[in-house]
Amino acid sequence: MALHLPKYKKQTLEHALGKYMRPKFIYIPLISGGDTNITELVQKGDYVNKGSIVARRKGNFKIPLVSSVSGTVVGFEEHLCYTGETVKCIKIENDFKDSELNIKKNRKLSSISKKSFIELIKEKGIIGMGGAGFPTYAKYDSKRKINTLIVNAVECEPYITADQMLALSFSEEILEAIDAILEINEIEEAYIAVKKTNTSLIDELNNHIGTYPKIKLALLDDIYPMGWERMIVKRIMKEDYDRLPIELGVVINNISTIYAIYGALKYNRALTERTVTFAGDMMKVPQNVVVKIGTPVKEIIESIEGLKKAKNYVFVAGGPMMGQAVPSDDLIVTPNLNCVLVLKKEEETELPCIRCGKCVAGCPALLSPVLIKDNINSVEELRKLHPEKCIECGACSYICPSGIKVREYIRLAKEKIKEVK
Amino acid sequence: MKEALATGPFLRTENKTNNIMKHLLIALIPIILFAFYKNGVVPYINGKVTLYGMFLPLIFVFISMFVTFFTEYLYAILVKKETKNIKYHLKTKYSIFPGIFFAMIMPLNTPIWILIFGAIIASVVGKIIFGGLGNNIFNPALVGRLFVITIFAATIMNNGGYLNLYEVDTVSKATPLSNYAAIETIGSYETLVKPYGSLWSFFFGMIPGSLGETSAFLCILGFLYLVYKKALKWRIPVTYITTVFIMTYIIGVLNDVGLWFPLFQILSGGLFFGAIFMATDPVTSPTTPIAQDIYGIFLGILTVLFRFLTSAPEGVLTSILIMNLFVIILDRIGAKARFDLKKVVVLILIEFALVLGLSLYIAESKDEKVTVDPNFSIVSKENQGNKKVYIATQKGYSSTIKAKVIISGDKVESVEILEQADSFYSKVEESNYVSKFKNINDVSEIDTVSGATITSNAIKKLVNNVLIDYKG
């Protein structure tokens, strides 16, 4: 059973793309792809340029974090990030000069080798901008031959229009970047995955796609969670993979990530800004805003006329389905933050499960959530139900007529089977 | 401790449990009104019942609904110390539904005190002892029915059983399936369908049966409405009814009867009501799609098995109760099968084998028109001129019936009951039943006596067996 969600996208699509590019301070959260195991490379008093590396991840993926302004490091502070927890941030005072080193003007996009391409997107701090924040270079840095590039412009969660707004404004740049990536990595073809119903984006891309024979549009059904990597790959390649899309020779990038790669290829620019959707019932003027990484969300909201009056707000980092509630508005923009929702706090009541089976029919990962909930105390039974396949899309909780937070049971089950291993 | 963060998703469906239950009620209302029309209004218009009798079907449903609600309400406020706010309980416990369903599957002539007793059983044994809504294994209404039918069958039948007073006068038959159970051959359109009108009477529900189970048409309307509103496990009724149709179609075809036979079978015995409303009770049916299919097919197999190979003619409700037991295990298989279809291949093959094998077996058994009836024996037979006098016995309801049957020129001349101790024999005597056999040579035309179906049927079988022996 396909799950159709209400969209709530109209308002932000109709509003012009806003900008908030001059924060007095930026705060670079020491987190990347959920990993906080990061070494800071600057000290208080250091001068940094825009795009300068200020920290680096320690683990397998030694991807750098960069400054999004030029200015002086004034210290370290704790702020909230998209996980809902506080993380240490590098506080940099903006000198408003935006001085950048080694900026190229109009470099030919495909002029570099595959090796330097991988090195470039790594050192420019480019990570997946669709939500998970996986280092982009790692997808290309594979021994396997890449046959297909899929550009994810599905954006299946309600409210979020950041990718679409960006793609509508920069379709030519995006197509140019895709073409260059194909050439550099010797990839045969690219698909831009768009929802069938997203006619404005389809039209915009069709206007320019003619000159790129290797790039095609893949029109996908408007169901949730169509933006899920596995679902897109399955629809387009008609094949499923075990762990990673590269098994099928597929690399899949978010369309905003492609635009960041464009900046790196053309101007040698780092990932320092992104488009974020600000929406939700409590937002006075819901819209998309281009902002610098490290900007406090509070400032941005104030710059777009702020919030409606309410006793209690719920701040959500991300979309309504997969987003994470954060305890206050002290949230900092990270490269993977695509949306900030401010909602009214509502009393939630849970009724007993009537075993209607909707969570089973609605699960895109083919789990049986109600049974996982039933067997939550038996690790042995849980293991047979494979909660680890859950992608936390929230379809089960959404569809539950009794208002039960089904996904939380599956998260718990995931932890339980991990503990006992 | 800091306040726990809200957990997503921050968007929830509008189709809440309250709505689902509202839709269910909407789907049931026409069926309740039809029960009122068929069992109340029609007899009243025809002068068979008083004004009370006219409203009896509605009173019946209302009392049952009130009892199940009130039983659970009392339990909640007295034992569980919950709020006394009646609206809260109505809106969160849905405890009127077992009552509605229970009333719908009981015979109209069930004495009110038995109805109340059954409704209390439905709530207490069917739901409360399992831990209330969402935890019960068996469909509460079916539990209630099982109890009262087992304990009070005789009382209910003596009180009039399934037929309303209009039906007693017009069709004067038992329900179609108990009528069918009385014959051993495949049956004919004339004996099975004609007495009730046509197959359209079956489709629209103008046939005897439990209070609210007869109208397939209204059940289908309810089904379509609930599917449209996404408030029903639609796979179960589809697989269930299809299975019964396919099996009875095979049985019919092999016995050279037409399409009317499978249609008669699926339109009888409350199959549509049971399949659409009882087998899909969300709490007591499987949650995984494949398990729902397997469940439906097994329900079909069991129903056919009950109808053709046991003396319990209805089959639907018993089948559902039995399958309720297997929901947990079917769901477990169904969950695995979502990742790997191979896990259910064996089960599905078993089902197909059962569907085919059982159909062929039943078709074959119906084909042998001459069967040795183990319940029948001939005490003596002697020729008296051109007549032949049989003394024979047949097992009745609670005793063995001994009768003298005189055959003259291929036809029955007279039947005289010599010995019997059946509980309901008085009914047979009152209706002057034995005189109906005079001058016939085919007992299938004889209607059994409502309220003493088994006894009257035994007499019919006895005469039939004598005729078989006579014809050699």
**Which of B319, B340, B367 corresponds to the end of one domain?**
B367
Mutate to test the interface with B, among A9, A347, A351, A408 (most CBs of B within 10 A): A351
A399 reaches B (C-beta below 8 A):
yes
Q: Is residue B5 part of a domain?
A: no
Q: Is residue B197 part of a domain?
A: yes
Write out chain A residues lying below 8 Å of B289, CB-based. Answer: 357, 360-361
Give a three-class secondary structure readout of chain B. CCCCCCCCCCCCCCCCHHHHHHHHHHHHHHHHHHHHHHHHHHHHHCCCCCHHHHHHHHHHHHHHHHHHHHHHHHHHHHHCCCCCCHHHHHHHHCCHHHHHHHHHCCCCCCCHHHHHHHHHHHHHCCCHHHCCCCCCCCCHHHHHHHHHHHHHHHHHHHCCCCCCHHHHHHCCCCCHHHHHHCCCCCCCHHHHCHHHCCHHHHHHCCCCCCCCCCCHHHHHHHHHHHHHCCCCCCHHHHHHHHHHHHHHHHHHHHCCCCCHHHHHHHCCCCHHHHHHHHCCCHHHCCCCHHHHHHHHHHHHHHHHHHHHHCCCCCCHHHHHHHHHCCHHHHHHHHHHHCCCCHHHHHHHHHHHHHHHHHHHHHHHHHHCCCCCCCCEEEEEEEEECCEEEEEEEEECCCCEEEEEEEEECCEEEEEEEEECCCCCHHHHHHCCHHHHHCCCCCHHHCCCCCCCHHHHHHHHHHHHHHHHHHHC
Q: Is residue B222 part of a domain?
A: no
Give B210-247 pLDDT, tens digit per residue. 999 999 999 999 999 999 999 999 999 999 999 999 99
Q: What pLDDT was estimated at residue B173?
A: 64
On the question of pLDDT at B1 being above 50, the answer is no
Extract the tokens encoding B109.
């002539």
Q: How far does the CA of residue B282 sit from the closest CA of chain A (Å)?
A: 5
Give A22-31 pLDDT, tens digit per residue. 999 999 999 9
Claim to verify: residue B456 and residue B406 sit in the same structural domain: yes
Q: What pLDDT was estimated at residue B472?
A: 67
Task: Say how many CB pairs under 8 Å bridge A and B.
Answer: 124
Angle at A47 between CA A45 and CA A51, to 5 degrees: 135
Write out chain A residues lying below 8 Å of B8, CB-based. Answer: 316, 320-325, 394, 397, 407
Cα Dmax for chain A: 63
Q: What pLDDT was estimated at residue B369?
A: 52
Instruction: Please tell me which of the candidates A321, A354, A366 has its beta carbon nearest to residue B339.
Output: A366
Interface contact A354-B334, CB threshold 8 A:
no
Q: Is residue B198 part of a domain?
A: yes
Extract the tokens encoding A225.
């969670």
Q: How far does the CA of residue B16 sit from the closest CA of chain A (Å)?
A: 4
Among A215, A29, A185, A28, which Cα is nearest to A120's? A185
On the question of pLDDT at B309 being above 70, the answer is yes
Q: How far does the CA of residue A297 sit from the closest CA of chain B (Å)?
A: 18
Claim to verify: residue B288 and residue B385 sit in the same structural domain: no
Interface contact B10-A407, CB threshold 8 A:
no
> CA nearest A315 in B: which residue?
B6
Instruction: Please tell me which of the candidates A327, A353, A403 has its beta carbon nearest to residue B5.
Output: A327
pLDDT cut 90: percent of chain B above it: 58
A307 reaches B (C-beta below 8 A):
no
d(CA A248, CA B280): 42
For residue A195, give the amino acid letter: K
Extract the tokens encoding B294.
């397997």
Per-residue pLDDT band for B372 (boundaries 50, 70, 90) equals: low
Q: What pLDDT was estimated at residue B287?
A: 96
Claim to verify: residue B120 and residue B37 sit in the same structural domain: yes
Q: Is residue B216 part of a domain?
A: no
B12 reaches A (C-beta below 8 A):
yes
On the question of pLDDT at B154 being above 80, the answer is yes
Q: Is A75 left (phi over 0), alpha (psi -120 to 50) or beta?
A: left
d(CA B162, CA B154): 12
Claim to verify: residue B435 and residue B341 sit in the same structural domain: no
Claim to verify: residue B292 and residue B397 sit in the same structural domain: no
Claim to verify: residue B141 and residue B21 sit in the same structural domain: yes
- Which residues of chain A, if any, have pLDDT below 70? 1, 421
Claim to verify: residue B253 and residue B142 sit in the same structural domain: no
Q: How far does the CA of residue A179 sit from the closest CA of chain B (Å)?
A: 37
Number of domain units in chain B: 3
Q: How far is CA A293 from CA A37, A89, A224, A381, in A?
A: 19, 12, 28, 44
On the question of pLDDT at B3 being above 60, the answer is no
Q: What pLDDT was estimated at residue B297?
A: 97
Q: Is residue B284 part of a domain?
A: yes
Claim to verify: residue B202 and residue B92 sit in the same structural domain: no
Residue with tokens 């959530």: A369
Query: Cis bond leading into B9, ω under 30°?
Result: yes
B16 reaches A (C-beta below 8 A):
yes
Give A173-224 pLDDT, tens digit per residue. 999 999 999 999 999 999 999 999 999 999 999 999 999 999 999 999 999 9
Angle at A322 between CA A320 and CA A327, to 5 degrees: 75
Instruction: Please tell me which of the candidates B11, B134, B285 has its beta carbon nearest to residue A398.
Output: B11
Instruction: Please tell me which of the candidates A320, A326, A355 has its beta carbon nearest to residue B9.
Output: A320
A341 reaches B (C-beta below 8 A):
yes
Q: How far does the CA of residue A366 sit from the closest CA of chain B (Å)?
A: 6
Among B103, B80, B30, B105, which Cα is nearest to B314's? B105
Instruction: Please tell me which of the candidates A321, A354, A401 has its beta carbon nearest to residue B9.
Output: A321
User: Mean pLDDT across chain A, nearest whole number?
Assistant: 94
- The separation between CA B336 and the C-alpha centre of its own chain, rounded to angstroms, equals 34
B335 reaches A (C-beta below 8 A):
yes
B7 reaches A (C-beta below 8 A):
yes
Residue-range domain boundaries for chain A = 109-267, 358-420
- Position with higher pLDDT, B133 vs B273: B273
- Position with higher pLDDT, A371 vs B418: A371
- Position with higher pLDDT, B440 vs B156: B156
Angle at A223 between CA A404 and CA A218, to 5 degrees: 150
Q: How far is CA B179 from CA A335, B173, B193, B449, B470, in A?
A: 76, 7, 10, 10, 25
Give the phi and the psi of residue A204 in degrees, each rounded to 5. -60, -45
Interface contact B9-A407, CB threshold 8 A:
yes
Per-residue pLDDT band for B433 (boundaries 50, 70, 90) equals: confident
Claim to verify: residue B343 and residue B390 sit in the same structural domain: no
Q: How far does the CA of residue B333 sit from the closest CA of chain A (Å)?
A: 10
**Which of B337, B367, B397 corresponds to the end of one domain?**
B367
Instruction: Please tell me which of the candidates A5, A6, A360 has its beta carbon nearest to residue B288.
Output: A360
Interface contact B331-A368, CB threshold 8 A:
yes
CA dihedral B78, B79, B84, B87 (to 10 degrees): -120
On the question of pLDDT at B370 being above 60, the answer is no
Query: Is A46 buried (19+), middle (13-18) or exposed (0-12) by CB count in 10 A?
Result: middle
Residues 295-334 on B with a CB inside 8 Å of A are 331-332, 334
Q: Is residue B328 part of a domain?
A: yes
B10 reaches A (C-beta below 8 A):
yes
For residue B466, give the CATH number of its domain. 3.30.390
- Position with higher pLDDT, A190 vs B4: A190
Q: How far does the CA of residue B26 sit from the closest CA of chain A (Å)?
A: 18
Domain that holds residue B394: 376-471
Interface contact A370-B339, CB threshold 8 A:
no
Claim to verify: residue B383 and residue B429 sit in the same structural domain: yes
d(CA B234, CA B293): 10
**The domain A109-267: what is its CATH number?**
3.40.50.11540
Q: What pLDDT was estimated at residue B2?
A: 43
Interface contact A399-B13, CB threshold 8 A:
yes
A366 reaches B (C-beta below 8 A):
yes
Claim to verify: residue B93 and residue B146 sit in the same structural domain: yes
pTM of the model: 0.84
Claim to verify: residue B251 and residue B304 sit in the same structural domain: yes
Cβ B315 vs Cβ B128: under 8 Å: no
On the question of pLDDT at B368 being above 60, the answer is no
Q: What pLDDT was estimated at residue A72?
A: 97
**Which of B367, B396, B418 corresponds to the end of one domain?**
B367
Instruction: Please tell me which of the candidates B10, B92, B339 has its beta carbon nearest to residue A343.
Output: B10
